[in-house]
Amino acid sequence: MSKVKTSFFCQNCGVQSSKWVGRCPSCGQWNTFVEEIVAKEEKLIWKKPGGKKDKTAKPVLLQEISENTERRIDIPDKELHRVLGGGLVPGSLVLMGGEPGIGKSTLLLQLALQLKNKKVLYVSGEESELQIKMRADRVNLKNEQFFILTETSLENIFHQISELNPDLLIIDSIQTIFSSKIESSPGSVSQIRESTAELLRFAKESSTPVFLIGHITKDGMIAGPKILEHMVDTVLQFEGDRHHVYRVLRAIKNRFGSTAELGIYEMQGAGLREVSNPSEILIAQREEILSGVAIAATMEGVRPLLIETQALVSSAVYGTPQRSSTGFDLRRLSMLLAVLEKRCGFKLGAKDVFLNIAGGIKVEDPAIDLAVICAILSSNEDIGINPKIAFSGEVGLSGEIRPVTRIENRISEAEKMGFSQIVISKYNLKGLDKSRFKSIEVVAVSKVEEVFSILFA
């Protein structure tokens, strides 16, 4: 009997080592090496039917590469269509990550059912056929050519694929798939890497698009080696707060399109619904003016988005004041508070500050700074801000209001949403044709101090 061959793998980055080491030499993480059984066998699982594989690739002239292999498949789901860069590229491998229960399986099931006249194979290693059927009934869509396979063995999956010849393959999830070629357990680094490599080969050689669902770890990374993200063509992230109904689909990497695109969905009783006008729902419609509320004109990718920011400032009851924030970087909040303290003389050091971005959406656009500052000031003074004013500007360390990108789009969106005033940075005025905006007044400021007079005039 031959000796079982084992090797050590970093569970963080996937680096292989012949002996155990405490600190990964590649990614620097501690205590991430786990012993896994590897059986070295050079047999490939996926074989192109019929064709003898030409082993050596030959150089090709750029102009001789035919374009029709790149024809994209239209996706009925407008949001996903856009995030993928305008449809699905044949032979592409797309990895979708997200927290448990966020709706990954639902989104891809809906996609599969919407693709009429396409043969779709949905491989589930997590749920039974009945569970998937129940979900399909729930989302109330029908595709006559939708096949479900509950299988985790990669060999069997490929066997079924060669029988069925699907137009689209969905794997839910990559962590449950295992290949008998490798003896370590499903979900381990070497299994994930091998399975993905095989699926990648299948996708490229058969020109079938493949979706992989991937679990994420507690710090938000896709579980498994980092190289997984390098192997695939597109990495999508499905995020949101499970307690809210809104979900955001982002492209983190996309070989076939921009990563600036973003899709917004609402989780309803009957599945995920595309949200085509997000600004309308992210601003609470209310009668009275409340203190601590300011509207930010942000951009999510290339889409303008008006978002409500809410702040609550109160005297700290206990020794250390609390700072808490949802949807906004806590360190950035601390920085903004320090700017208010230092440049404007607001004594916020002994106050609790809570910040909340409506809809459970995470905002990374720095243009939200100005609205955050205004919400904090409004709560601190307990004076409400006119709900017809929107804000868009980054705040610098010396209290200056810095310009932001795509200011025209932001102003137009605010105008469209019925705002009568928008506060922006003075430095954004250069080249801006104010006369374009008929029903909205553009107010330019250069320092945080100037904002007060506008707010509490």
Exactly one of 25, 28, 49, 101 binds ligand TYD (CB under 6 A); that residue is: 101
Q: How far, in Å, CA of 327 to CA of 282, rounded?
A: 13
Does position 269 bind ligand TYD by CB under 6 A?
yes
Tokens of 426: 């003075």
- Pick the piece of the chain touching ligand TYD (CB under 6 A) from 269-277, 329-337, 381-389, 443-451: 269-277
* Distance (Å, whole) CA 97 – CA 232: 12
Per the listing, tokens 């020109």 go with: 207
Integer angstrom CA distances of residue 317 from 258, 279, 294: 48, 36, 26
Rounded CA-CA distance 39/183 in Å is: 7
Of 5, 71, 133, 138, the one binding ligand TYD (CB under 6 A) is: 138
Distance in angstroms (rounded) separating the CA atoms of residues 98 and 146: 24
Q: Is 106 in the site for ligand TYD (CB under 6 A)?
A: yes
Does 105 participate in binding ligand TYD (rule CB under 6 A)? yes
Stretch that binds ligand TYD, among 97-105, 332-340, 377-385, 406-414 (CB under 6 A): 97-105
The two three-digit tokens of residue 347, written as one number: 């004594």
Number of chain residues interacting with Mg ion (CB under 5 A) = 1
Residue of 82, 104, 250, 410 that binds ligand TYD (CB under 6 A): 104
Q: Which stretch binds ligand TYD (CB under 6 A): 21-29, 133-141, 326-334, 387-395?
A: 133-141
Query: Quick check: 103 binds ligand TYD (CB under 6 A)?
Result: yes
Q: State yes or no: residue 208 binds Mg ion (CB under 5 A).
A: no
Nearest approach in angstroms of CB 68 to ligand TYD is 34
Q: How far is the CB of 179 from Mg ion (least distance, A)?
A: 21
Beta strands 146-150 and 262-268, pairing class: unpaired
Nearest to 143 by CA among 126, 177, 168: 168
Q: Within a 10 A sphere around the Cβ of 90, how many other Cβ atoms? A: 19
Structure tokens at 252: 């983190």
- Whole-number Å distance between alpha carbons of 415 and 193: 50
Minimum Å gap between C-beta 213 and Mg ion is: 6
User: Is the Cβ of residue 272 or residue 311 nearer to ligand TYD in the bound state?
Assistant: 272
Please check whether residue 234 is in contact with residue 214, taking contact to mean a CB–CB distance below 8 angstroms: no
**Token digits for 69?**
């292999």
Q: Which is nearer to Mg ion, 105 or 110 (CB)?
A: 105
Partner touching 270 among ligand TYD, Mg ion, none, CB below 5 to 8 Å by kind: ligand TYD
**181 touches, from ligand TYD, Mg ion, none (C-beta below 5 to 8 Å by class):** none
Interacting positions 88-107 with Mg ion (CB under 5 A): 105
Q: In what order do the strands lie in the sheet with 323-326?
A: 323-326, 351-357, 303-315, 293-300, 389-392, 421-425, 441-445
Nearer to ligand TYD (CB atom), residue 100 or residue 345:
100
Contact between 271 and ligand TYD per CB under 6 A: yes
CB nearer to ligand TYD: give 109 or 445: 109
Pairing between β-strand 389-392 and β-strand 293-300 as defined by DSSP bridges: parallel
As measured in angstroms, the least distance from the Cβ of 250 to ligand TYD is 15
> With the C-alpha atoms ordered 52, 56, 59, 62, is the resulting torsion angle positive or negative?
positive
Does residue 134 bind ligand TYD (CB under 6 A)?
Answer: no
Name the one range near ligand TYD by CB under 6 A: 87-95, 227-235, 265-273, 333-341.
265-273
Residue 142 sits in the site that holds ligand TYD (CB under 6 A): no
254 is an interface residue for Mg ion by CB under 5 A = no
Residue with tokens 């700290």: 316
Please choose which of ligand TYD, Mg ion, none residue 269 contacts, taking the beta carbon within 5 to 8 angstroms, the exact cut-off set by kind: ligand TYD
Stretch that binds ligand TYD, among 23-31, 54-62, 262-270, 403-411 (CB under 6 A): 262-270
Smaller CB distance to ligand TYD: residue 135 or 244? Answer: 135
Contacts of 317 (CB under 8 A, 6+ apart): 352
Nearest partner of 400 among 343, 349, 453, judged by Cα? 343
Minimal CA–CA distance to 115: which of 69, 168, 171, 78?
A: 168
Q: Interface residues with Mg ion (CB under 5 A)?
A: 105
Q: Interface residues with ligand TYD (CB under 6 A)?
A: 98, 100-106, 135, 138-139, 267, 269-271
